[in-house]
Amino acid sequence: MISDETRKKWKDRLDTIIKSLDNCCVELNEWEIEFIDSIDKLLSDNKDLSFKQSKCLNKIYDKC
């Protein structure tokens, strides 16, 4: 079961990535941008990420 703490961490990381993109602080490839869009939609729909999705989100977050 996914904890609320984990969901908050995903949302915080996603917000950081989006802000970095908006401020031109990070450069992502097309796949990464589409992935971030899809994760944003999932989290907005109150759905949980898979382990693989979470891992990819963390890799992108590490670029910021």
Q: What pLDDT score does 10 carry?
A: 97
CA distance 34 to 49: 15
Mean pLDDT along residues 3-12: 96
Asked whether 53 and 39 are in contact (CB, 8 A), the reply is yes
pLDDT-derived band at 8 (thresholds 50, 70, 90) equals very high
Q: Is the pTM of this model over 0.85?
A: yes
Domain that holds residue 54: 4-62
Quick count: other Cβ atoms within 10 Å of Cβ 22?
A: 9
Number of domains in the chain: 1
